[in-house]
Amino acid sequence: MGSASREALAQARAAITGRLAQSAGAELLQAAARIAESPALAAALGDASAPAEAKSQVVERLFGGFSAGARSVLSAAVAGRWSNVAEFVDGVEELALRAESGANPELSDELLAVADLVARNHELQLSLGSKLADPAGKVALVTRLLEGKISASAAGIVRHLVSAPRGRRLDSALRHSARVVADQGGNELATVTVAAPITAEQQTRLARALEQSAGRPVKITTVIDPALVGGIRIQLADDIIDGSIRARLEDLRLKLAA
């Protein structure tokens, strides 16, 4: 995301407060989907040269049925000077995720669990990632699959990402969404991949070490991958620490092939 977009997003985030209605997150997801599927609307609202007041009037006209809080977040978003229209669309979606996180402290964990489910099921990945499949059919598929297993807020985000992929893999989009949600709660999200389960004590020591590096609390999600053989792989934000035996063997193979 460009520097202008980061600044616009930071300014719009100030509108996300505890006074938002519980429906605000879902409403903002609806807005993000509507804006994404209409290039003309996205261009009109994301145009940095257009007067902010005029764009706020469009928000009131098109989304007047939303709660006051959701409309205020949207107005704050359109008032910003985004680097480009695509980043404006991404920004509205991120604001929706941040608004949705307030009412569900387990939301990031749920999104990661669904991401792992999709990543482990190749057939499901193909079904949900197919550009030829009917979007409504894909939404119905995940709705049946997840019914009663995750919260309504998590299910709403999954349905949104399935129906509006914008070129993203579903598991990657879910992991990114989980990081955004965790960040809104003041936490960093770390995915720890190991060949075999680690003890609670080991996880606690690892969390402390990662918190010192991140400078704030870290929520750890553990993934078991026997293919690592041994060692550990850690992803913290955009940083990856790969100390697995598999990575060392691959490095050795590349050196021998050179």
- Choose the weakest-confidence range: 20-29, 37-46, 117-126, 175-184: 117-126
Q: Please check whether residues 169 and 210 belong to one and the same domain.
A: no
**Beta-bridge partner residues of 233:** 193, 242
Q: Please check whether residues 193 and 147 belong to one and the same domain.
A: no
End of a domain among 39, 72, 101? Answer: 101
pLDDT category, 57, cuts 50, 70, 90? very high
End of a domain among 123, 152, 178? Answer: 178
Residue 44's CB is within 10 A of a number of other CB atoms, namely: 16
- Choose the weakest-confidence range: 177-181, 189-193, 216-220, 243-247: 243-247
pLDDT category, 232, cuts 50, 70, 90? confident
Q: Please check whether residues 88 and 9 belong to one and the same domain.
A: yes
pLDDT for residue 241: 77
Mean pLDDT of the chain: 87
End of a domain among 46, 73, 101? Answer: 101
Q: Please check whether residues 40 and 116 belong to one and the same domain.
A: no
Q: Please check whether residues 158 and 212 belong to one and the same domain.
A: no
Q: Please check whether residues 117 and 97 belong to one and the same domain.
A: no
pLDDT for residue 254: 67
Q: For residue 233, is pLDDT > 90? A: no
* Mean pLDDT of the region 160-168: 89
* Mean pLDDT of the region 109-131: 87
**pTM to 2 decimals?**
0.81
Residues with Cβ < 8 Å from 197, sequence gap 6 or more?
222, 224
* Mean pLDDT of the region 183-190: 87
Q: For residue 66, is pLDDT > 70? A: yes
248 or 78: which carries more pLDDT confidence? 78
pLDDT category, 255, cuts 50, 70, 90? low
Q: How many Cα atoms within 13 Å fall on the side-chain side of residue 226?
A: 0
Q: Please check whether residues 40 and 10 belong to one and the same domain.
A: yes
* Mean pLDDT of the region 120-131: 85
Q: Please check whether residues 136 and 162 belong to one and the same domain.
A: yes
* Mean pLDDT of the region 240-252: 72
Q: Please check whether residues 19 and 95 belong to one and the same domain.
A: yes
Q: Please check whether residues 204 and 223 belong to one and the same domain.
A: yes
pLDDT category, 237, cuts 50, 70, 90? low
Q: Please check whether residues 9 and 96 belong to one and the same domain.
A: yes
pLDDT for residue 249: 66
Strands 232-236, 218-224: parallel, antiparallel or unpaired by DSSP?
A: unpaired
If you compute the radius of gyration of the chain from its CA atoms, what whole number of angstroms results? 20
Rounded to 10°, the helix 152-163/24-36 angle is 0
- Round to whole Å and give the CA distance between 29 and 181: 14
Q: Please check whether residues 90 and 124 belong to one and the same domain.
A: no
**What range defines the domain where residue 70 resides?**
3-101
Distances (CA, A) of 251 to 51, 224, 227, 243, 258: 54, 22, 15, 11, 11
pLDDT for residue 164: 87
SS3 letters across the chain: CCHHHHHHHHHHHCCCCCCCCCCHHHHHHHHHHHHHCCHHHHHHHHCCCCCHHHHHHHHHHHCCCCCHHHHHHHHHHHHCCCCCHHHHHHHHHHHHHHHHHCCCCCHHHHHHHHHHHHHHCHHHHHHHHCCCCCHHHHHHHHHHHHCCCCCHHHHHHHHHHHHCCCCCCHHHHHHHHHHHHHHHCCCEEEEEEECCCCCHHHHHHHHHHHHHHHCCCEEEEEEECHHHCCCEEEEECCEEEECCHHHHHHHHHHHHHC
Tokens of 36: 């994404």
pLDDT category, 252, cuts 50, 70, 90? low
Distances (CA, A) of 100 to 20, 24, 71, 77: 10, 7, 14, 16
Q: For residue 72, is pLDDT > 90? A: yes
The proportion of the chain whose per-residue pLDDT surpasses 70, expressed as a percent, equals 95
- Round to whole Å and give the CA distance between 112 and 158: 11
Q: How many domains does the chain have?
A: 3
pLDDT for residue 129: 82
Tokens of 249: 């063997």
Q: For residue 253, is pLDDT > 80? A: no
- Round to whole Å and give the CA distance between 99 and 169: 23
